């Protein structure tokens, strides 16, 4: 499952090239568990040195939607805690992911983590981040307009069917809205003469095909013949 989530700016991450090593102890017993050869740093500090670029992810009602983005490959500091040198207990490196920063026009900066492939472009990362707004709008409309939150049953099957019906209704209404927004030119009407000619040809083929059907033979058995009792 691909995901993109928002994180606080204090979230610790490691560089993607971090390695686990066994440092040689000056005294005492040798270390049994490896430690990272680099220390973790907050997401804000990591992206402060990155290259920011303005990216547009889609077109809105007032033009292209754009903001400044920066992304670097990191390893999330969400592993098991372990004592690292004199830094105390620190979380070990976890899986590799994208650390993405968004710089908005107001000057505010947001930070995200995403497990999209390493070959993903900055525009793809920005689009995955902004897809959350579309999901939130759909969820809000499903509740306010179609009664998604009106289910009062106690079974999973009932909830599943209720959600399915509301989503089908939502999809139908969306197709109607998009058709009206495009001017209804998705299925242009044909000329009347062509319609009449086409209808006559279809009726001719239909009558000819029905005439070609063989008539069923009647059974001679009396037991299979329907009897009608007429009133005296």
Q: Does the pLDDT value for residue 212 go beyond 70?
A: no
Domain ranges of the chain: 4-129
User: Residue 104: enclosing H or E segment and its boundaries?
Assistant: none
48-85 pLDDT, tens digit each: 989 999 999 888 778 888 999 999 999 999 988 888 77
**How many C-beta atoms lie closer than 10 Å to residue 98's C-beta?**
22
| pTM recorded for the entire structure | 0.64
CA-based nearest residue to 82, from 12, 10, 29, 34: 34
The tens digit of pLDDT for each residue in 133-160 reads 888 888 899 998 899 988 888 899 999 9
Characterize 34-52 residue by residue with b for buried, 16 or more Cβ atoms within 10 angstroms of its Cβ, and e for exposed: ebbeeebbbbeebbeeeeb
**What gap in Å lies between CA 115 and CA 178, rounded to an integer?**
32
């Amino acid at each position: 499952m691909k995901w993109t989530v928002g994180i606080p700016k204090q979230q610790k991450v490691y560089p993607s090239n971090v390695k686990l090593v066994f440092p040689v102890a000056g005294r005492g017993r040798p270390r049994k568990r490896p430690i990272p050869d680099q220390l973790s740093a907050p997401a804000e500090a990591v992206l402060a040195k990155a290259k920011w670029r303005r990216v547009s992810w889609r077109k809105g009602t007032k033009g292209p939607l754009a903001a400044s983005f920066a992304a670097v490959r990191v390893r999330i500091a969400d592993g098991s805690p372990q004592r690292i040198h004199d830094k105390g207990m620190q979380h070990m490196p976890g899986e590799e992911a994208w650390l993405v920063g968004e710089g908005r026009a107001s000057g505010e900066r947001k930070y995200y983590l995403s497990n999209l492939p390493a070959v993903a472009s900055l525009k793809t990362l920005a689009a995955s981040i902004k897809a959350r707004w579309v999901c939130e709008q759909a969820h809000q409309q499903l509740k306010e307009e179609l009664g998604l939150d009106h289910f009062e049953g106690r079974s999973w099957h009932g909830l599943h069917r209720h959600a399915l019906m509301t989503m089908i209704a939502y999809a139908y209404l969306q197709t109607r809205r998009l058709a009206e927004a495009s001017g209804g030119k998705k299925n242009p009407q044909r000329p009347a003469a062509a319609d009449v000619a086409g209808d006559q040809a279809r009726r001719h083929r239909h009558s000819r095909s029905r005439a070609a059907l063989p008539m069923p033979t009647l059974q001679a058995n009396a037991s299979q013949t329907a009897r009608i009792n007429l009133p005296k």
